[in-house]
Structure formats: structure tokens, C-alpha cells
Structure 1
Amino acid sequence: MKIVSRLAAAAAIVIAAAGTAGAKDWTEVRIGTEGAYAPFNYFDSNNELQGFDIEIAKALCDEMKVKCTFVAQDWDGIIPALLANKYDAIVASMSITEERKKTVDFTNKYYNTPAQFITNKEGGITDTSPAALAGKSLGAQSATTHATYLEDMYKDSDVKLYPSQDEANLDLANGRLDGILADSVVLYSWLNETEDGKCCKEVGEPIRNVQYFGEGAGIALRKDDPELKEKFNAAIAAIIANGTYKKINDKYFPFDVY
């Protein structure tokens, strides 16, 4: 019996040691983002990443006491690149949805804003129901929750998808689209802070459909990195509690996005 007990104890020690050896220390975290989704993430005139996502990520890394580096990645390939180990986390305004949870894990939300339609001021559109927009050309960024919503709910409209939000906005400004569906804050910034945005206006009520737009924006992670998820969740709670989150929020928006 003693021999069996000693063998069992030895096996437990080996298993525990193996588990410890496989754990990551997370002194450095590589963060993937898009760089084409102002004001959340974008490149400035010096080709440096800026925006709400970037500053939140840096604040979280400071709170976790880890070194962070950023990797820019086109939106269409942003999850595959995470799974291919190109980086460790995605901080890019990614909505937490049940469909995405099949592939990646998410932290708690770090902001939550609704979807919104915008149209040209001269277009005469006041109703954004599927029936009212039948036959109209509607744009969205491809591989987004907004694109899925348009394709599912506006089957009688001409839905056009774009590699980036900027390209969709430009086509609306130039009269090649009747309307756009996107994040309300992204559109608010474009409407109020750019010359092109003066063409257009918000139409209809904000859309908060959890089935499509999820529970808010979270940080996407590989499913086999639970320790990193715990670190990020603790850091999100900490920067909200200590006022860092509010300082960043107020720098970008005249309203609370949490």
C-alpha cells in the first residue's frame, strides 16, 4: 500500500510539474488590431497606431505589468491570425457574439455601443425598416456583425460589403450608397469630425439586437489561454475602478461608451 501511495504521489508531482511548465508567464503580450476603424483604432500621420482601443489596451497592459506590442491586421483575417499565433489577443472593437465564441474566447466587455443607420441628408430616407429600404443600396464593412445583420434582415436591399469602414463611408459620401449600417460611435465621429461626414445624418433608432451585435466589445483570445483571460478581466475591472477608463473615454467621446 505504501508503495502504491508513493507511486501515486510521485505521479501527482510529475503531473503538477508538467502543468506548471506548460503555463505561460505572460510578461509580454502581442495585441492584434485593425488600424482602420477610427476613432477606435487607426494610424496617425506618423503611421503610429492611435485610438480608444489602443489606449485601453495600453492601460490594461500597464495594469497587468506586462510589455505590449501591437500588430496591425486586416479585419477579414484578424481571427485566423490570432489562431495562427501571430499575436495573443485582439483589441479591435470586436463584438462578443455566440458565433465567434465557437472559435475564440472573450474577456468581459470593455465597451458597448449600438448599431446605427446613416444616410445622405438629401436622400429623403426617414424609415429604416426592411420594407422601406427595399431596393436601396446599403453598405457595411465585410465580416462584421453589421454586415451579417444587413444580409439577414434586408434581403430586398442591395447590400454591398467593403474591406474597411472608411471605404463604405466614402461611397456614401460620393452618392454610391443610400445608407450605411455601422457602430454608432464610429459613425458619430465620422459625421461630426470629418469634412466628408457633413453629407450625412443618423436615421432611425439605435439598434441593440443582442443576437447579432452581442454583449459589447471584448478582447478575443485563444481558448487555450485562460490565464491571459483572467489577467485581462481583472485589469478591465481595475481601470474602471481607478478612473483610468473614464479618462480615456472622455478623451474620445462626450458620452459614456461602457
Structure 2
Amino acid sequence: MKNLRRLIAVITAVVLVLPLAASGVQAKTTNQWTAIKKEGKLVVGTESAYSPFAYYDDDNKLTGFDVEVAKAIGDELGLDVEFVTSDWDGLIAGLDANKYDVVMDQISITSARKKKYAFSTPYTYSYGALIVSEDNDDIDSFDDLDGLTTAQTTTSNWGKMAKKNGATIKEVSGFSEAIQLVEQGRADATINDNVTYLDYKNQQPDAKVKVAALSTDVSRSAVMIRKSGSSTLRKKINAALKNLQEDGTLSEISNKYFGSDVTQADS
């Protein structure tokens, strides 16, 4: 009889506790903006060695295009911004584990990601850039690559694009090597995104290369947010980005890092 009474008491306690626990989880996951506003800070996940987007400078200070955009959003929302750095492989998993409120790391909006996460309006637009030596006037479209040689990392989407247009691939380890081969005439061209090209030219203004053509496909990068309870937070971030676009802040940050405005889609 004592055991029976104990069992009944335990079951009753569990029944009483479960609704409370559930409501606590529900409140935590469905009111992201309320919790962030109460704490007075936005916690942002990003990388730490992804120049020029998020990296440590010579003074060991986290800086970069995405870092500055995040800080500008925080200013608009009246929030402090705290950064939590991670390598790429663990970055999105950290959002799932509630290590930060959002991720800002040039996260492209894809249909697969949209099934699980919410996204702000884009703050970076990038296109495939066909890059040739500055004195090359024979290549002015991707169709012209048929039968030519492009310097690419073979597993990249850009390598696949080059093959699709009939090019022979000369394998390289990265963008800088690809540019060198183009400048030296050992490759006819290379394909990469225009943001990477703009950063390179900003750092190496004397590089004797140019963009011959841009793809019509555009990649849009935005703030990634956990989907549950993100409605108000997403609206607040979108309003902040709209203000930063209209007052020229985004354009100013972009020109600082790229010498061009990548925060608006080409018309």
C-alpha cells in the first residue's frame, strides 16, 4: 500500500511539473525578440578567419564586413552586439544549440536552408564573375570559354560552371593562384564570385585583370535566425537593414572593404 501511495504521488508530481516545463520552453523559443530586448544584446555567431567578412586584425580585434554590418544593426536596435566565433563546420550547429541568436557569415539563402531557418532581407548580393587579363578583348561572355582553359579549384561550383561552358580546367589551390595564372597567360580565365574579386582588387589594385562578364544568377546572403519564434526579431532586423540601406551605412561599409557596393542587387 505504501508503494502504491508513493507511485501515485510521483505520477501526480510529474503531471503537475510537465505543463510548467513545457510552458517555459515554449516561452523561450517563441519570444526571441522579447528575450534579446530584455538582455539588451544581440549575440552573433560568425567565423574568425574569413577575411574580409569576419577576421581578427593585427590588433587581435574581430573586424570585417559582416562584423561591421552586425554592429550597425545592433546600433539601430539599441542593442549591444556580442560575437561568438566558430569554424564553418560548427557554425550553423551552434545556432541550433542556442549558442547565439543569429548567424552572420555570408550565409547564402537557399531553398533547403529556408525549410529550417528564417532569413532577413539580403545584405550582400554576389554574382559569378568571369575574370580575364586586362588586355584580353576576345572573351566577353561565358559562352566564349568553349575550348579555352580556366584556372579553378575542381570541386567548386565555379569549376562546374566552367566545364558546363566547355572549358578545360587547370587545377589550382585557391583564388590568388588562379589570378596569377591568368596574369601570366597560363590560363585564359578564371570564374569566381564578384565579391571575392572586388576584395582582391581592393587589396591588389595593380593586378592586371578585369571582369569580362557577370552571371545572371545571384547569390543572396542574409542574417540566419532560428525559425521558431523569429517573426518579431526578423521584422526588427529587416527594419534596421532598411534604415541602414537608406541612410547609406551599408554602402559605406561595403565600399570600405570592396571599393564597391555589394549590398544592392544589380539592376
* TM-score of the aligned structures, taking structure 2 as reference length: 0.67
1:169 matches 2:181: no
CA contact (8 A) 2:152 2:170 kept: yes
Give the AA of the match of 1:220: M
1:236 matches 2:241: yes
The CA distance in 2 between the partners of 1:73 and 1:132, in whole Å, is 38
Count of equivalent residues: 232
Higher mean C-alpha displacement, 232-241 vs 243-252:
243-252
1:219 maps to which residue? 223
1:99 to 105, 112, 116: 112
After superposition, the C-alpha distances for 1:78-98 in whole angstroms (9 at most, x for unaligned) are 333333434332212222232
The CA distance in 1 between the partners of 2:177 and 2:61, in whole Å, is 23
Give the AA of the match of 2:117: V
The CA distance in 2 between the partners of 1:133 and 1:21, in whole Å, is 55
Deviation of 1:114 (Å)? 2.3
For residues 69 and 98 of structure 1, do their structure 2 counterparts lie closer, same or farther at Cα, with a shift above 3 Å needed?
same
CA contact (8 A) 1:140 1:182 kept: no
After superposition, the C-alpha distances for 1:113-142 in whole angstroms (9 at most, x for unaligned) are 322132456999836636725573543597
2:216 maps to which residue? 208
After superposition, the C-alpha distances for 1:187-228 in whole angstroms (9 at most, x for unaligned) are 12312423xx7455134211231xxx34x2211122224133
The CA distance in 2 between the partners of 1:240 and 1:120, in whole Å, is 34
CA contact (8 A) 2:130 2:142 kept: no
1:158 matches 2:165: no
Identity across the alignment (%) = 28
Question: Which has the larger Rg?
Answer: 2
Gaps in structure 2 of 5+ consecutive residues: 1-19
The CA distance in 2 between the partners of 1:252 and 1:40, in whole Å, is 9
1:181 maps to which residue? 191
After superposition, the C-alpha distances for 1:138-181 in whole angstroms (9 at most, x for unaligned) are 43597xxxx3354266256438686xxxx432454367976543
CA RMSD in angstroms comes to: 3.7
